[in-house]
């Protein structure tokens, strides 16, 4: 089987994108894992199947509320497991749709995209795309996180931004760079579905010209350490704001792959969080499966 694919990335978080107009491509976990392997495959943090929402039974009902959400972002982690959403991936997804004339996005317009976490609205920005991740929930501080490079377990805050996260604040950049994230951090209590784990250091000063700054590394469930995590940067900003008890709504999170902006804002159904950053398509090719 020969599969046409495109590679893309958002701040170094890279993906394989496959267009499946008939909605009939069925990749097994092992096939996804093989394609994402950086030594024996194409290499990527995740794989995205671009398919019509109407031909994806698990999300086709979303068209009732948003008929414009014609495309479904079928996201898989590099271990082959399915995921609800990917904040960097959805920006690259939007870039793929536009570059392949599958959708249009003009100044001031919105591109709705179907995901396993519902409809996400994407808009164009000067340097890429912004995506409204929607509502978020904040858990408690009772999750203990152990990781190689930390002498003792640290408390983490559970944040859900459509997918689960645990955010840990560290003292300084020395602690952050000393982490060894080859192995997944251990969570206590264990989360059956797993979680992305973000380790964060606050900038000094925290706020410059109205924007708060953070530096972050992340271990993504199903993928390992990545250069960036879109939902993770949102979770990190939400957690620090919560701990600080403040109302800071504009953030810049620096990850190894670049910078991602985060914004919290009120809506009729509650407070939403949005992220914005670049999206690039790097090359296309054929995979012989």
The alpha carbon dihedral of 258, 136, 14, 68 has a sign of: negative
Q: Cα–Cα–Cα angle for 162, 251, 264, nearest 5°? A: 50
Q: Are 155 and 169 in contact (CB under 8 A)?
A: no
Helix boundaries (H) for 83-224:
87-99, 173-177
For residue 116, give Cα distances in angstroms to 62, 65, 91, 162, 265. 10, 15, 16, 9, 23
Is 36 tagged catalytic?
no
91 — alpha (psi -120 to 50), left (phi > 0) or beta? alpha
Q: What does the alpha-carbon distance between residue 121 and residue 81 come to, in Å, rounded to a whole number?
A: 24
* Dihedral (Cα; 153, 159, 160, 163), 10-degree rounding: -40
The token duo for 284 is: 């296309």
The token duo for 283 is: 């090359």
Q: Is 87 helix (H, G, I), strand (E, B) or coil?
A: helix
Q: Name the nearest CA neighbour of 63 among 74, 52, 73, 75.
A: 52
Element (H, E) at 266: strand 258-267
Q: Out of 86, 159, 166, 260, which one is annotated catalytic?
A: 86
Is 229 tagged catalytic?
yes
For residue 62, give Cα distances in angstroms to 56, 113, 134, 137. 10, 10, 15, 22
Q: Out of 44, 229, 235, 236, which one is annotated catalytic?
A: 229
| 48 class by beta-carbon count within 10 Å (0-12 exposed, 13-18 middle, 19+ buried) | buried
Active site residues: 86, 229
């Amino acid at each position: 089987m020969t599969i046409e694919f495109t590679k893309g990335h958002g701040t170094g978080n890279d993906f394989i994108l496959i267009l499946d107009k008939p909605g009939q491509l069925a990749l097994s976990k092992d096939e996804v894992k093989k394609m994402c392997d950086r030594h024996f495959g194409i290499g990527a943090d995740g794989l995205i199947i671009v398919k019509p929402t109407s031909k994806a039974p698990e999300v086709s009902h979303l068209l009732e509320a948003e008929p414009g959400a014609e495309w479904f972002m079928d996201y898989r982690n590099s271990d082959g497991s399915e995921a609800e959403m990917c904040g960097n991936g959805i920006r690259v997804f939007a870039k793929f749709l536009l570059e392949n004339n599958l959708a249009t996005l003009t100044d001031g317009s919105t591109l709705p995209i179907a995901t396993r976490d519902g409809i996400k609205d994407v808009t164009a920005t000067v340097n890429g795309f912004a995506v409204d991740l929607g509502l978020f929930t904040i858990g408690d501080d009772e999750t203990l996180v152990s990781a190689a490079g930390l002498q003792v377990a640290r408390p983490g805050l559970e944040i859900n931004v459509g997918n689960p996260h645990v955010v840990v604040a560290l003292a300084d950049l020395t602690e952050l760079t000393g982490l060894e994230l080859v192995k997944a951090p251990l969570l206590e209590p264990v989360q059956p579905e797993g979680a992305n784990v973000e380790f964060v250091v606050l900038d000094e000063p925290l706020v410059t010209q109205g924007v708060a700054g953070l530096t972050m590394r992340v271990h993504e469930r199903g993928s390992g350490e990545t250069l960036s995590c879109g939902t993770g940067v949102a979770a990190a900003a939400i957690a620090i704001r919560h701990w600080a008890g403040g109302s800071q709504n504009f953030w810049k999170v620096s990850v190894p792959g670049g910078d991602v902006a985060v914004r919290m804002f009120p809506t009729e159904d509650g407070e939403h969080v949005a992220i914005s950053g670049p999206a690039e398509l790097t090359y296309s090719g054929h995979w012989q499966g």
